[in-house]
């Protein structure tokens, strides 16, 4: 046998291993998506999407307002800022980036709507894509870190789609797009390995990922943006970038992102940028290691380690398989490993800052309040921009998962250990998969009969809600029947192309005066204990709600009263 044939053999094996790894990762992602969502849900055609609900607290509103923003944007015209619509929160309107409708889907959906005249349901395909993308991105990250064999790549895919921080977000559609974090970390690793990165290429890749994250969700943008800045700063710290190149990259990144933010309207919503909740929606210090939602320790599936009532936002449980790998990978630490801190100081500094932000100034250890760190008012106000700070632990968890897989893969019997860990992780995530599958089996109970109300809304031009969502009494705001009904009206109005004054979104303006309804209007007034204050002939009412319209027949109005939960 000649020398060329001998050299070709290992190259061929590497090629086949690479292709097989990616194919298996893709298959794992597709299988994971199908294990969670029936095909009609993935296609967006299931009845579930009429009134969806997830497993994360607040998803009764999160999913519905995302759908309402999507439907309203498709039927609206082009405006500036780009995602401004007038039909929600009318007459002032709103920006649908604050309905968490995923700007990327908004643009694709409007293009398809203009081409076909049909509303293409994209949230189902998006949900499946998030799982597939996580499998592929997790595999890509461990391969970038040097573990290019079959078993580490497959184990990464299984562990990635079984991460509790991913599965627990079902119900917040935009935040299911967490695959962008291992993707950003992969880019960091690859650019870090280049002896002299081309500044233009570096800028293009970091800007591209930041814009993609911005088109998914602002929280993901902030996390990816931190990794992007660490990528550029580390290149400068290693003297792989000149000062002029550093200045150019930073100026280009900030300038392009600022232009994108301005064009999308993130800072032009009319409501406050910051909100209360920082320190409440935080991470518990024990959250990474205490089993929560575990399929291996049955009692733990009952809830999240939560000392405030909002620490579900900071869920950081690693999962049984990843806990095993983390112990094997990080203990014991050898002296030469501390050199990694210097070689990756910027990234590790950013991730450490993210973890501290996740813990917030109110630090809890299990049920115990460990310490309250005093912060000046201006810092608390600034922190309120990211009030659900517990989410910022996610990038560190995904890096830890990849590093643990790579380090264990290099140990004796590493492949067998990884196979066992992947199986443990999959089993441990079983209860959450079951919860997701149960949640998508049928639509959630709705406060109003969708068919009857949609038919009535189709006969008017405006739906005026009094009081609108943002002006409901504090006891009902966000939790009561009226809040759910107002949010459902928002979705039904968007789906029928009717303007409405009510708005449930991330940034609310308290415009409480409904004005004087006239013309082709349906007035919905929540009585809120008033005992039925309407007496006009064009109204029908009881002690819970009044409906009034000069263009709808009294029989239709009476039907609306009966069509309630």
Place of tokens 């995602």: 83
Phi/psi of residue 348, nearest 5 degrees: -65, -35
Structure confidence at residue 301 (pLDDT):
52
User: Under 8 Å CB-to-CB from 402, ≥6 apart: which residues?
Assistant: 138, 141, 142, 145, 156, 182, 185
Max CA pair span of the chain: 99
Q: 406 and 465: one domain?
A: no
Strand 84-85 relative to strand 94-95: parallel, antiparallel, unpaired?
Answer: antiparallel
Nearest to 490, CA basis, from 529, 531, 448, 459:
448
Q: Is 27 exposed, middle or buried (0-12, 13-18, 19+ CB in 10 A)?
A: middle
Predicted TM-score (pTM) of this structure:
0.93
Please write the tens of the pLDDT for every residue from 223-242: 999 999 999 999 999 999 99
pLDDT band at 17 (very low <50, low <70, confident <90, very high): confident
The first and second tokens of residue 79, run together, are: 């405006």
Cα(43)–Cα(37) distance, integer angstroms: 10
509 inside domain: yes
Cα(336)–Cα(332) distance, integer angstroms: 12
102 inside domain: no
In the chain, the percentage of residues whose pLDDT exceeds 70 is 92
Structure confidence at residue 2 (pLDDT):
41
pLDDT band at 270 (very low <50, low <70, confident <90, very high): low
Structure confidence at residue 9 (pLDDT):
46
pLDDT band at 8 (very low <50, low <70, confident <90, very high): very low
Mean pLDDT of the chain: 90
Cα(160)–Cα(33) distance, integer angstroms: 12
Higher-confidence residue: 162 or 514? 162
Higher-confidence residue: 299 or 17? 17
Q: How many domains does the chain have?
A: 2
Nearest to 468, CA basis, from 528, 420, 427, 422:
528
Mean pLDDT calculated for residue range 195-219: 96
390 inside domain: yes
Mean pLDDT calculated for residue range 362-367: 95
Mean pLDDT calculated for residue range 339-356: 91
Q: 368 and 465: one domain?
A: no
Q: 198 and 278: one domain?
A: yes
Higher-confidence residue: 356 or 274? 356
Question: CA torsion angle for 240, 242, 243, 245 (degrees, to 10)?
Answer: -100
Domain enclosing residue 337, as ranges = 193-412
Place of tokens 């007459």: 91
Mean pLDDT calculated for residue range 197-223: 96
- On the question of pLDDT at 426 being above 90, the answer is yes
117 inside domain: no
Q: 269 and 376: one domain?
A: yes
120 inside domain: no
553 inside domain: yes
Q: 403 and 462: one domain?
A: no
- On the question of pLDDT at 179 being above 60, the answer is yes
Q: 540 and 393: one domain?
A: no
Q: 405 and 483: one domain?
A: no
Phi/psi of residue 448, nearest 5 degrees: -125, 150
Cα(358)–Cα(339) distance, integer angstroms: 26
Q: 495 and 394: one domain?
A: no
pLDDT band at 534 (very low <50, low <70, confident <90, very high): low
Count Cα atoms within 13 angstroms, Cβ side, for 19.
5
Structure confidence at residue 384 (pLDDT):
83
Q: 354 and 249: one domain?
A: yes
Do residues 288 and 164 touch, judged by C-beta distance below 8 A?
A: no
Do residues 498 and 87 touch, judged by C-beta distance below 8 A?
A: yes
User: Under 8 Å CB-to-CB from 57, ≥6 apart: which residues?
Assistant: 312
User: Under 8 Å CB-to-CB from 314, ≥6 apart: which residues?
Assistant: 281, 282, 283, 284, 287, 358, 359, 389, 390, 391, 393
141 inside domain: no
Mean pLDDT calculated for residue range 487-498: 96
pLDDT band at 299 (very low <50, low <70, confident <90, very high): low
- Mark which of 394, 412, 430 sits at the end of a domain: 412
Q: 201 and 320: one domain?
A: yes
- On the question of pLDDT at 7 being above 80, the answer is no
Structure confidence at residue 267 (pLDDT):
84
445 inside domain: no
Structure confidence at residue 478 (pLDDT):
54
Q: 214 and 347: one domain?
A: yes
Mean pLDDT calculated for residue range 134-154: 97
- Mark which of 412, 430, 459 sits at the end of a domain: 412
Please tell me the least confidently modeled range out of 281-285, 291-295, 326-330, 540-544.
540-544
Peptide bond into 91 cis (omega under 30): yes
- On the question of pLDDT at 146 being above 50, the answer is yes
User: Under 8 Å CB-to-CB from 139, ≥6 apart: which residues?
Assistant: 21, 22, 25, 153, 154, 156, 157, 160
- On the question of pLDDT at 157 being above 80, the answer is yes
Mean pLDDT calculated for residue range 78-102: 94
Q: Is 18 exposed, middle or buried (0-12, 13-18, 19+ CB in 10 A)?
A: middle
- Mark which of 363, 383, 412 sits at the end of a domain: 412
Q: 349 and 396: one domain?
A: yes
């Amino acid at each position: 046998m000649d020398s060329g044939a001998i050299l070709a053999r290992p190259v061929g094996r590497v090629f086949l291993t690479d292709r097989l790894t990616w194919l298996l990762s893709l298959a794992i992602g597709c299988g994971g998506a199908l294990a969670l969502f029936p095909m009609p849900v993935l296609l967006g055609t299931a009845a579930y999407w009429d009134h969806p609900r997830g497993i994360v607290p607040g998803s009764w509103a999160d999913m519905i307002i995302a759908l309402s923003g999507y439907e309203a944007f498709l039927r609206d015209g082009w405006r500036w800022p780009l995602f401004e619509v007038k039909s929600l929160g009318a007459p002032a309107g709103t920006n649908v980036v604050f309905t968490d409708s995923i700007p990327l889907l908004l643009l694709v959906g409007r293009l398809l709507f203009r081409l076909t005249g049909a509303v293409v349901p994209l949230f189902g395909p998006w949900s499946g894509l998030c799982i597939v993308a996580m499998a592929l991105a997790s595999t890509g990250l461990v391969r970038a870190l040097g573990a290019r064999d079959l078993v580490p790549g497959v184990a990464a895919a299984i562990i990635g789609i079984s991460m509790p921080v991913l599965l627990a977000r079902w119900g917040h559609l935009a935040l299911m797009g967490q695959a962008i974090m291992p993707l950003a970390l992969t880019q960091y690793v690859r650019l870090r390995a280049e002896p002299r990165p081309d500044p233009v290429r570096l800028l293009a890749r970091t800007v591209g990922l930041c814009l993609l994250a911005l088109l998914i969700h602002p929280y993901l943008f902030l996390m990816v943006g931190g990794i992007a800045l660490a990528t550029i700063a580390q290149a400068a710290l290693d003297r792989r970038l000149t000062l002029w190149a550093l200045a150019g990259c930073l100026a280009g990144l900030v300038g392009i992102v600022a232009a994108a933010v301005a064009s999308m309207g993130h800072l032009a919503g009319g409501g406050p940028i910051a909100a209360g909740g920082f320190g409440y929606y935080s991470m518990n210090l024990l959250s990474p290691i205490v089993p929560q939602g575990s399929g291996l320790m049955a009692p733990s599936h009952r809830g999240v380690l939560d000392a405030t009532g909002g620490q579900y936002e900071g869920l950081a449980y690693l999962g049984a398989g990843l806990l095993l790998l983390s112990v094997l990978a990080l203990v014991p630490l050898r002296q030469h490993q501390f050199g990694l801190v210097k070689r990756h100081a910027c990234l590790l500094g950013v991730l450490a800052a993210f973890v501290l932000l996740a813990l917030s100034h109110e630090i809890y250890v299990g049920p115990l309040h460990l310490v309250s760190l005093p912060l000046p008012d201006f810092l608390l106000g600034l922190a309120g921009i990211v009030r659900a700070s517990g989410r910022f632990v996610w990038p560190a968890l995904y890096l830890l998962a990849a590093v643990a897989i790579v380090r264990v893969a290099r140990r004796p019997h590493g492949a067998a250990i990884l196979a066992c860990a992947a199986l443990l992780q999959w089993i441990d995530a079983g209860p959450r998969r079951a919860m997701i599958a149960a949640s998508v089996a049928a639509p959630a109970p709705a406060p109003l009969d969708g068919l009857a109300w949609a038919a009535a809304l189709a006969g008017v031009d405006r739906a005026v809600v009094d009081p609108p969502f943002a002006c409901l009494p504090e006891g009902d705001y966000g939790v009561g029947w009226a809040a759910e009904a107002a949010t459902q009206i928002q979705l039904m109005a968007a789906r029928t192309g009717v303007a409405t004054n009510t708005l449930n979104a991330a940034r609310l303006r308290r415009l409480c005066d409904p004005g004087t309804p006239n013309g082709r209007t349906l007035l919905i007034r929540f009585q809120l204990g008033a005992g039925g204050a309407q007496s006009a002939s064009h109204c029908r009412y009881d002690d819970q709600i009044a409906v009034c319209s000069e263009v709808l027949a009294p029989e239709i109005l009476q039907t609306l009263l009966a069509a309630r939960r």
